C-alpha cells in the first residue's frame, strides 16, 4: 500500500537524533562507538546512534551528581520548577507530530496510536507532575509542648531510569516526570531498540530551560550502558520497566554496588474473566481482543489469558475471533493501520516460537499464527488465538509479549479465580459480570496490582500502576510515584 504523499514528505523531513545528551551537550561516545537503529517497519537501518560505554555512563552520572549537589534544580523553588516542566510539555506538544513519527518508525506501532495515545499521554504525564510537585506535603507529628517534630520528603539524588521499547516516550515520562518533580537528577537509559524519542526528549528538556546535567540521556546496549548505570556507586536508585530476568539482575547489581534502591515494573500473564452474566458480551469481546492485541501484544498488561464460563465459551469466542479478524497487519505509517510490526526480528521469532509450542502441546489454533508481509522486510505476525489451552501449558504460564491469546473455560466462580491466580505474575486482571458482589469479591480475590471490572485498562494517571508477585514492586503514576523518588526525613526541634 502506498503511503499518502504528505506522510512520505513528513518522514523525509525528519532529523533523526543519534547523540547522547550529557552535561547539557549532545555528544558522541568517548570511543566513537555507534549501533544501527533498525526500523521494524521494513528492517532497514534508520540511523546510527551513539553506543554509550561505561565511561560515558559514568560521565553522565557525574554530571547528574554535580547538578544535584550544587542545587541548581533541587533547590529551585516550586514555581520555577513548574514553569520549566510546563514549558517542556508545551515543547513536546509543539513537536507532537515529529515525536509520533519517530515512535512509529522506531517501534513499529501504528502512527494512529502514537498520535492518539503515546505522545498525548507522555505530555499529560509531564503536565500532571508539574502541577503536583507543590501538593506533596510533609507531616507534623504530635509532640510535647517543648518540642516540634515533623517529617519532610527530600529528593533521593541521582535516579537511573531504564525504560522499555514498547511505549518509549510514555514510559520514560512515567519515571522522568515524577523524579524531576521531586528535585532529583536523572540519567535516562532508553532501550536500544527505541532510542529516538528519549534522545529528542533530552534535547527538548534543554530547550525548556532544564539546567545542564539534570537530565542526561545515554543510549546504548543494556548489557553495557544499562549495566554500568546499575552498578554505579553514585546512582541512588534504579527505576526500571522491562523483563523479569533483567529485573533480577538489577537487584543483584544493587547488592554488588551501593545498595541503591530498585523499583521494578516487570511482566505479566494477565487474565480476563468473562462470566455468563456479563452485562455486554460485545463490549467484552472488543476488550478481550484489544486487551491482548493492542500494540501487537507488546504490552506488560496484555490480557493474554481469556477465561470464559463454559456455558457461553464457544459463542463468546466467535465474537472475539470476529473482532480480531479485522486487525490486519499493515504499514505502521499508514493512518489506516490498526495493527503494526513487532519491534524486532528477535521478538517476532519469539512469538512464532510460542505459537509453534502451543501447536505442539495440543492447543487448538482458531485464528492466525503466521508471519505476514514478508515482502516489506518488516517484522509482522498475525493476531493469533488458541482455544483449549491447558493450564499447565507453556502458553498459559509464560509471557509471550506478542499477539497470542490463550483461551480456557471454567465451570464455577471458584475455578475462575483459581485459574486467574495460577501464575507467578500479578500485574493486571479483569472480570465481566452483572453481579456486584461477585465483582467486589473478585477484585479482592484477584492477586494483581490492577483489577478492572467490566472494562480493560480503564484507569489513568491519577491511579497507581504496578504489580504483585513477580510482576515487580514500586508504583508508577499518581502521587504514589513521588514517594519512591523521595527520602523521608524526621526533624525534631526542642523549643526554649
Q: Which residues contact 103 (CB under 8 A, 6 or more apart)?
A: 109, 114, 118, 119, 168, 169, 194, 196, 197
DSSP state of 100: H
Question: Nearest CA to 65 among 129, 160, 137?
Answer: 160
Contact between 183 and 130 (Cβ < 8 Å): no
C-alpha span between 443 and 445 (Å, rounded)? 6
What phi and psi values does residue 116 have, to the nearest 5 degrees? -90, -25
CB burial readout 77-100, b (16+ within 10 A) else e: eeeebbebbebbbebbbebbebbb
Size (the chain), residues:
496
C-alpha span between 340 and 333 (Å, rounded)? 9
SS (H, E, C) 148-175: EEEEEEEECCEEEEECCCCCHHHHHHHH
Strand order in the sheet with 486-494: 139-140, 147-155, 486-494
- Residues noted as catalytic: 265
Q: How far, in Å, are 195, 270, 284, 371, 407 from residue 288 at the CA level?
A: 31, 11, 6, 22, 10
C-alpha span between 118 and 453 (Å, rounded)? 24
Torsion of CA 99, 105, 110, 115, to 10 degrees: 10
C-alpha span between 111 and 432 (Å, rounded)? 31
- First-to-last CA distance in the chain? 80
Q: Where are the beta strands (DSSP E) in 288-376?
A: 305-309, 364-367, 371-372
Amino acid at each position: 500500500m502506498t503511503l499518502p504523499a504528505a506522510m512520505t514528505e513528513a518522514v523525509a523531513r525528519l532529523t533523526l537524533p543519534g547523540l547522547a545528551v550529557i552535561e547539557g551537550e549532545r555528544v558522541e561516545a568517548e570511543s566513537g562507538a555507534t549501533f544501527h537503529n533498525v526500523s521494524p517497519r521494513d528492517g532497514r537501518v534508520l540511523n546510527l546512534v551513539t553506543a554509550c560505554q561505561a565511561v560515558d555512563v559514568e560521565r553522565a552520572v557525574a554530571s547528574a551528581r554535580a547538578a544535584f549537589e550544587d542545587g541548581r534544580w533541587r533547590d529551585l523553588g516550586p514555581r520555577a520548577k513548574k514553569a520549566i516542566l510546563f514549558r517542556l510539555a508545551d515543547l513536546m506538544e509543539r513537536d507532537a507530530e515529529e515525536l509520533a513519527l519517530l515512535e512509529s518508525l522506531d517501534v513499529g506501532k501504528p502512527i494512529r496510536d502514537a498520535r492518539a495515545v503515546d505522545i498525548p499521554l507522555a505530555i499529560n504525564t509531564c503536565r500532571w507532575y508539574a502541577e503536583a510537585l507543590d501538593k506533596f506535603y510533609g507531616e507534623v507529628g504530635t509532640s510535647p509542648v517543648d518540642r516540634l517534630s515533623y517529617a519532610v520528603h527530600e529528593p533521593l539524588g541521582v535516579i537511573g531510569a531504564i525504560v522499555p521499547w514498547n511505549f518509549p516516550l510514555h514510559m520514560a515520562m512515567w519515571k522522568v516526570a515524577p523524579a524531576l518533580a521531586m528535585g532529583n537528577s536523572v540519567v535516562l537509559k532508553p532501550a536500544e531498540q527505541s532510542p529516538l524519542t528519549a534522545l529528542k526528549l533530552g534535547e527538548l528538556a534543554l530547550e525548556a530551560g532544564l539546567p545542564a546535567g539534570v537530565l542526561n540521556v545515554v543510549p546504548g546496549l543494556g548489557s553495557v550502558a544499562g549495566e554500568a548505570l546499575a552498578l554505579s556507586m553514585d546512582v541512588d536508585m534504579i527505576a526500571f520497566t522491562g523483563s523479569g530476568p533483567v529485573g533480577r539482575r538489577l537487584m543483584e547489581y544493587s547488592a554488588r554496588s551501593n545498595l541503591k534502591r530498585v523499583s521494578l515494573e516487570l511482566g505479566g500473564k494477565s487474565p480476563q474473566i468473562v462470566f455468563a452474566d456479563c452485562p455486554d458480551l460485545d463490549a467484552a469481546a472488543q476488550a478481550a481482543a484489544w486487551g491482548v492485541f493492542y500494540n501487537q501484544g507488546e504490552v506488560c498488561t496484555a490480557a493474554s489469558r481469556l477465561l470464559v464460563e463454559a456455558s457461553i465459551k464457544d459463542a463468546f469466542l466467535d465474537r472475539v475471533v470476529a473482532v480480531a479478524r479485522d486487525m490486519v497487519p499493515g504499514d505502521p505509517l499508514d493512518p489506516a493501520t490498526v495493527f503494526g510490526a513487532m519491534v524486532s526480528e528477535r521478538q517476532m521469532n519469539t512469538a512464532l516460537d510460542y505459537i509453534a509450542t502451543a501447536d505442539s502441546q495440543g492447543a487448538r489454533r482458531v485464528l492466525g499464527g503466521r508471519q505476514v508481509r514478508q515482502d516489506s522486510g518488516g517484522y509482522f505476525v498475525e493476531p493469533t488465538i488458541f482455544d483449549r489451552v491447558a493450564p499447565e501449558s507453556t502458553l498459559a504460564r509464560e509471557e509471550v509479549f506478542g499477539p497470542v491469546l490463550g483461551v480456557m473455560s471454567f465451570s464455577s466462580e471458584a475455578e475462575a479465580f483459581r485459574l486467574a491466580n495460577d501464575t507467578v505474575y500479578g500485574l493486571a486482571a479483569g472480570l465481566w459480570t452483572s453481579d456486584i458482589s461477585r465483582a467486589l469479591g473478585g477484585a479482592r480475590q484477584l492477586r494483581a496490582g490492577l483489577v478492572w471490572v467490566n472494562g480493560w485498562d480503564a484507569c489513568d494517571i491519577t491511579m497507581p500502576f504496578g504489580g504483585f508477585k513477580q510482576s515487580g514492586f514500586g508504583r508508577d503514576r499518581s502521587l504514589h510515584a513521588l514517594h519512591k523518588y523521595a527520602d523521608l526525613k524526621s526533624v525534631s526541634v526542642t523549643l526554649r
